A and B are shown apart, each in its own frame.
Chain A
Amino acid sequence: MSLAHRIIPCLDTDGSRVVKGVHFEGLRDAGDPVELAARYNSEGADELVVLDIAAARDNRPTFLETIRRVAAQLSIPLAAGGGIRSLEDARAVVRAGADKITVNTAAVERPELIGDLSREFGAQAVVLAIDAKRENNFWQVRVRGGRAATTWDAQDWARRGVELGAGEILLTSVDRDGTQSGFDLPLTAAISRAVSVPVIASGGAKLPQHFLEVFTEGAADAALAASIFHDQVQSIRALKSFLQSNGVEVRLPC
C-alpha cells in the first residue's frame, strides 16, 4: 500500500478544440476535448489537465464552457489553467468544475497570486506550472508558453512557489517538449529533490521506458503527456501494465 505514480493526459486547447505543436509552435487540431476526456476517464488516467494555451481575454467564456463540458465527463480530478491572472479568474475556473488551478506566467509576474489562490482554495488546489530551459549551468524559467526568457532559476522558483503556497509543481522541459525523446531526467530530479510537494514531469514523453525513467531516475510523482495519448501512440492501460511489471506502483482498474 503506497501512493501510486500518476499518469496525466494533458489537453492543450485553443479554448474549444485540442491543439498540438512542437516547442509550443506550429499548432494543429488534435480533437474534441470532451471526447478525449471521456476516453481518458475510462482508460485509467489518474487525472486530467486542460489548458487554454491561447489564453486570450475575449475567449474566456469559451474555455470555461469547455471546462464545464469536460468536468461533466470525469470521475477523476481535473486541473485547469492558462490565462489565470487573478483570484476572480481562478474562481470562475473552479466554479466551472476544476479541482485544481494551474498558474504560470501570471505567477512569475506577480508571485503573491500563488498565496491568494492557496488561501482561498487550499494548497492542494494550486499547481505552479514552471517551463524550464537549460542555459549553461542552470535551468532558466521561461514564460509566455516557453517563448520568453527570465533571469530566474527554476529550482529557486519552485522552492519559492511552494513557500508561497503551491501544493504541486507541473514542470515542463522546454528543451524536450514535443521532441518525444524522453523526459528531462536531471531537471526533473533536481526540482523534485528541491521541493516538499509532488512534481508532475512534462515534455518529451513517447515510450513506456521514458515514463519508467522519470519515475525512478527523475523522482517524479506524476508524468504528463499529450499527443502520444491523443494519437493513440501509447495506451494508458498498456503503459501502466509496463510500469507495474517494472516495479512502479500504479493504479490499475480493478
Chain B
Amino acid sequence: MIVTLIDYGAGNVTSVARALRRLGAEVRTTNQPEEITTAGCLILPGVGHCAALLGSLDAHGLRHPLVTALSRGTPFLGICLGLQALYQSSAEAPEMSGLGILGGHVDHLPQNVKLPHMGWNQLRAVRSSHLLEGIPPAAYFYFAHSYAAPAGGPATAALCEHGCEFTAVLETERIFGVQFHPEKSGAPGAKLLENFLRIAA
C-alpha cells in the first residue's frame, strides 16, 4: 500500500509517516501537483495555522489537483487542520477559501474553556464509522487545536466536546477526516490509521 503524504511544511509529517510505516505502509511525501493527481491514497496532515496550510497548497499549485482527486474518489484522510481545510472557510483565516468539499464554516472554540483544547479526550459516535471499527468506544485520542468544524452535517461520524460539540471524525464516501492526531494517540490512533489503510486498499 503506497500512501502519498502531502508535505506542505507542517511539523507532523515525520510522525505521521513514521506511524504509517510502522503499519507496513510505503509512504511518499510530496508537494508536487502531478504526484497528487496520480496518488492512489492521500493523507493531508496539518498543525499550526490554517492560513499557512491553505497558502502553501496554493503556492505549490496543489489546490486544484487535490480537489479533483477527492471528487474522483481517491481515498483521503485529513488530520487536524487537514480536516478543517475540507470546509468552505475558517474563522482562523477568514480571507481565504477552504477546499469547499464540505459545506460549513470552521469556527473558534468557545472562550469559556482553556484553549488550545490540548490533550486526550473521548469521542461520541453519532453513526457507524469505518475509521473507528474495532476501537473501544471509551478510547482517548490526542487533540491540540483552538478551531473546530461544526457538529452537524451528514459527514460527521463522531463528535467531541470542549466548550461545545464539534466534529471529531468525518466520513463521506472515500473522504475521511479526524480532528485529533492519530499519529500521537497510542494504540487507538494506530488502529484508526490501520483502518484507513484497509479501506483505501
Contact = CB atoms under 8 A, between A and B. Distances in A.
Interface string B163-201: 000000000000000000101111111100000000000
Task: Bin the interface of chain B by size.
Answer: 35 or more
Main secondary structure of the interface of A (DSSP, over half): loop
A224 interface: no
A6 B120 CA distance: 8
Interface string B101-126: 00000000001001111111111100
B119 A76 contact: no
B186 to A, nearest CB: 5
Interface residues of A, number: 36
B160 interface: yes
Contact of A198 (B119, B161, B181, B183): B119
A124 B15 contact: no
B18 A72 contact: yes
A74 B183 CA distance: 9
A77 B139 contact: no
A76 B111 CA distance: 27
Give the 8 A-B CB pairs with smallest separation, nearest first. Answer: A122-B48, A124-B144, A251-B140, A251-B120, A4-B120, A124-B116, A1-B122, A254-B136
Contacts of B143: 3
Interface in A65-124: 71-72, 74-77, 94-95, 97, 99, 119-124
B184 A76 contact: yes
A75 B183 contact: yes
B111 A196 contact: yes
Nearest to B139: A254
Interface in A216-254: 221-222, 251, 253-254
Secondary structure type dominating chain B contacts: mixed
A221 B115 CA distance: 11
A46 B118 CA distance: 11
Given A125-B47, A196-B111, A3 B184 contact: no
A251 B47 CA distance: 23
Contacts of A119: 49
B79 interface: no
Given A75-B187, A122-B48, 19 more contacts: A1-B161, A2-B121, A3-B119, A4-B121, A6-B120, A46-B119, A71-B14, A75-B184, A76-B142, A77-B144, A99-B12, A123-B116, A123-B146, A167-B118, A196-B115, A198-B118, A198-B119, A251-B120, A253-B186
A120 B49 CA distance: 8
Given A124-B144, A254-B138, A99 B116 contact: no
Contacts of A77: 142, 144, 181, 184
A185 to B, nearest CB: 18
Interface in A142-181: 167-168
B106 to A, nearest CB: 15
Given A72-B18, A77-B184, A2 B161 contact: yes
Contacts of A124: 47, 116, 118, 144-146
Contacts of B3: none
Contacts of B142: 76-77
